[in-house]
Amino acid sequence: MKIFFPENIKHIAIVAPSSFAPESQLTQLLEILDKQKIKVSIMKNVFKHNAETYFSSDVQSRVDDIHSAWRDRSVDLIWCLRGGYGGAALLDYIDWDLLRTRSIPFLGYSDITSLHCAMYKKGVGIPITAPVAICANEFLSDLAIDYMHKAILGVDEIVISRDNIINIQQGDCSGCAICANMTVLASLIGTEYLSDFKDKILILEDVGEEVEKLDRLLLQFKQAGILSSCKGVFFGNFKNCGNKEDLLKLFDKFKVEINGPVLSNFPFGHQVQFVPIKLGQFIKIQD
């Protein structure tokens, strides 16, 4: 049986900051966590879904769930139900002073990029890019669980194998990482919720976007000065985003804007191969 969390995690709160998912998609995970003697609190608005909206609930209800989980001193970790769309709408309503009172691991990815980037910029919580709750059992391999344990336990530096990673541009493949969904990251440009990318390794993924759209996003990153400020850019999985050859041509096209290594096929994104990483964690790619 997979041991998802280290021994210090005894109580998990499930929140749904973005889109809705039916309760049935959590059944298997809840059974696994129960066998591991981990208490799970599903916050009261997670399944409040109104059929007329694509969000899990209204903005204030989603914010209230995060606040309630943060105030509960017995909660050791907060896990996002799923991504989808809607997390960015919460940012103006979150009580950031409340979030400064405790350092809690906050797990998710994809649309959760908005919350992770804001937390990292404001220095609150422990934002960790990891599979969302509804697909944890599928995406969390033994290797991924090992990296997630390290992120939760505060291991400052991790080493990732170069196996299956494609080198596009040479350079020092080590540094502090920021993992993000490309579309969501672009939506934060010009807001107060985006940190400086200077000397950071930017790790990107997306899903269901045409190569033309990805080209537009990378052009936006270039014109915003993000690509030139990064220490390197690692492209992860781009599920249903055109064919592999066109993607590699696109990444090769923008490598000239990046003053450091450019890699493709990094284990991050909407795929089974997933390395959980804490934003700001130092990573090193090893042959």
The three-state secondary structure class of 10 is coil
Other CB atoms within 10 A of residue 89 CB: 16
Kindly state the percentage of the chain with pLDDT values over 70. 99
pLDDT score for 139: 81
pLDDT at 265 over 90: yes
pTM (2 decimals)? 0.96
Nearest C-alpha neighbor of 45 from the set 30, 31, 56: 56
Least confident of 46-55, 212-221, 239-248: 46-55
| pLDDT surpasses 80 at 51 | no
Residue-level length of the chain: 287
Torsion of CA 182, 185, 190, 191, to 10 degrees: 170
Lowest mean pLDDT among 12-26, 43-57, 94-108, 158-172: 43-57
Q: Where would I find the beta strands (DSSP E) of 114-173?
A: 126-129, 157-161, 166-169
Tens-place pLDDT, residues 119-154: 999 999 999 999 999 998 888 888 899 999 999 999
Residue ranges and CATH numbers for the domains of the chain are 11-153 (3.40.50.10740), 157-286 (3.50.30.60)
Q: Mean pLDDT score of the chain, rounded to an integer?
A: 95
The CA dihedral of 116, 120, 125, 128, to the nearest 10 degrees, is 50
Banded model confidence at residue 1, pLDDT cuts 50, 70, 90: low
Residues 171-225: pLDDT tens digits? 999 999 999 999 999 999 999 999 999 999 999 999 999 999 999 999 999 999 9
